Structure 1
């Protein structure tokens, strides 16, 4: 007696496709990545990108074509890339000190676009070495001026933070380890760096006042701030103020008048020219 066997049509259809695809050779020459959206399965993505289910399962080491894979990073083989270029994404590996805002700024893309393409929230915590997908058109924007790096890498001892900086940028600028910044400044949450904070870059050195004309400048107090350099200074009448230099523009500023910064001005006296030349063009000896 022959018994009737009832097989779910959907499952039979999918298993038949997998069997048929198994006889075809795998051809993959390049690839990109996407983040699976709500309701996505490998079967759905294979139809969307025009790639074989076998290729998709093989590249992603998955064996269930019907499983919901929302939020997972899925590799799309070459054939699917050509047919779906509008969904191309660069990938970025998270390093220490990264935030979503920093990544969006460095790659000149919208923060909301990064959040959307990765199915994240604005307050999502990034893990070290986590892979982040970048929207199409993302391009690294090097914001650190080379001339500033040349001078900043000299032995200035402090860095005053701005709104857009983080520890990794500051460490790179001054060519010092991030751990050194954490230790010297006793940072418990190094990812959140508030603006206008004076961070110590190196161990304290004895005060070293150097005379320039009618001024005395605390050479061990030079602080980097937003591309400029600031140091505590004194007049011959022992009045304390702050002096600022811009090596890029070769100009000065000070707080002599009522403790407020004046307008930037070009050097006029011999000692002002010598000061800029010594600071901007010579190596520091401590």
Structure 2
């Protein structure tokens, strides 16, 4: 989930990058602020960002270089940030629909590497235009998986775009005619579809709720979203939320935590294993 945030600085506005749970980075004139993560000390941060320990201690009015400072806001001189980025990493600007998992997958880099070099956690929030550091050698690679095409063609009623997408690519991904997508969505011969648009792929079907453990899942609501599959679900207390599956990695995600997506997790309960097996491995008649 991402949103635009603008903050006034003096007489002009700049885009602020805010992490609500774990870390935020705010660039103001010649310095940057971070929130120290678990195990951080001034000594460790000075080495990480290539800034002298003396300057770092002076900027933050601290005199113990080895003290654990988890959770404290630390000022990093801008010269250190520039050196850190130039010498060690590439940069990526967050766009609509991005998640840390998606960025790591699209650039073929380790998620843990991204978390470490950006002082993030798996459940950190991303904001539009936020700058993410990537390891040198990271390369954007976007491919349409044959596996995804097979699953999508059988089990998905909707497609939600994460960026501007070609209508022909969407039709190819789901193995349906372009004209079918145009007709169902009343499109006037568009070539490209804007980000964050939910397209209908097949005609309406009666609602089909299936019970898995303590959950009820709307089987007729499955939506393809950048290689993942999302459906409306309910708890036994009738609380509505969204559940996501990734068949390739056999993991799940949900919005039970205050309507925000959590980090991906492996199935633990019997019904979670059954859900993944049913959706990813079985054939269903709509």
TM-score, normalised by the number of residues in structure 1? 0.51
Per the alignment, residue 212 of structure 2 pairs with 212
Q: Is the 8 A contact 1:43 1:66 kept in 2?
A: yes
DSSP 3-state at the match of 2:259:
coil
Distance 1:124 1:170, change over 3 A: farther
Q: Is the 8 A contact 1:57 1:65 kept in 2?
A: yes
> How far did residue 148 of structure 1 move?
1.1
DSSP 3-state at the match of 1:231:
strand
Q: Is the 8 A contact 1:158 1:199 kept in 2?
A: yes
Distance 1:35 1:205, change over 3 A: same
> How far did residue 192 of structure 1 move?
3.1
Once the two structures are superposed, the pairs formed by residues 170-185 of structure 1 within 5 Å of their partners are: 170-185=170-185
Q: Is the 8 A contact 1:40 1:69 kept in 2?
A: yes
C-alpha distance in 2, partners of 1:51/1:201?
A: 53
Unaligned runs of 5+ in 1: none
Q: Is the 8 A contact 2:56 2:77 kept in 1?
A: yes
C-alpha distance in 2, partners of 1:209/1:82?
A: 53
Unaligned runs of 5+ in 2: none
Per the alignment, residue 56 of structure 1 pairs with 56
C-alpha distance in 2, partners of 1:9/1:258?
A: 30
C-alpha distance in 2, partners of 1:220/1:52?
A: 58
C-alpha distance in 1, partners of 2:211/2:22?
A: 82
Q: Is the 8 A contact 2:94 2:131 kept in 1?
A: yes
> How far did residue 8 of structure 1 move?
73
C-alpha distance in 1, partners of 2:239/2:140?
A: 46
What RMSD, in angstroms, separates the aligned Cα atoms of the two structures?
19.6
> How far did residue 190 of structure 1 move?
1.4
C-alpha distance in 2, partners of 1:37/1:181?
A: 47
Q: Is the 8 A contact 2:35 2:73 kept in 1?
A: yes
DSSP 3-state at the match of 2:165:
coil
Q: Is the 8 A contact 2:17 2:24 kept in 1?
A: no
Q: Is the 8 A contact 2:41 2:69 kept in 1?
A: yes
Q: Is the 8 A contact 1:118 1:132 kept in 2?
A: yes
Q: Which region of structure 1 is more displaced relative to structure 2, 61-70 or 234-243? A: 61-70
Distance 1:177 1:133, change over 3 A: farther
Q: Is the 8 A contact 1:37 1:70 kept in 2?
A: yes
1:90-144, Cα deviation, whole Å (9 max, x unpaired): 9999999999999999999999999999999999999999999999999999820
Structure with greater Cα Rg: 1
Q: Is the 8 A contact 2:40 2:68 kept in 1?
A: yes
Distance 1:200 1:114, change over 3 A: same
Q: Is the 8 A contact 2:21 2:125 kept in 1?
A: no
**How many residues are treated as equivalent by the alignment?**
286
DSSP 3-state at the match of 2:20:
helix
Structure number with greater CO (CA < 8 Å, separation at least 6) is 2
Q: Which region of structure 1 is more displaced relative to structure 2, 22-31 or 266-275? A: 22-31
Distance 1:237 1:75, change over 3 A: closer
Q: Is the 8 A contact 1:218 1:233 kept in 2?
A: yes
Q: Is the 8 A contact 1:217 1:232 kept in 2?
A: yes
**Larger relative strand fraction:** 2
Q: Which region of structure 1 is more displaced relative to structure 2, 1-10 or 229-238? A: 1-10
Segments ≥4 residues shifted beyond 4 Å: 1-142
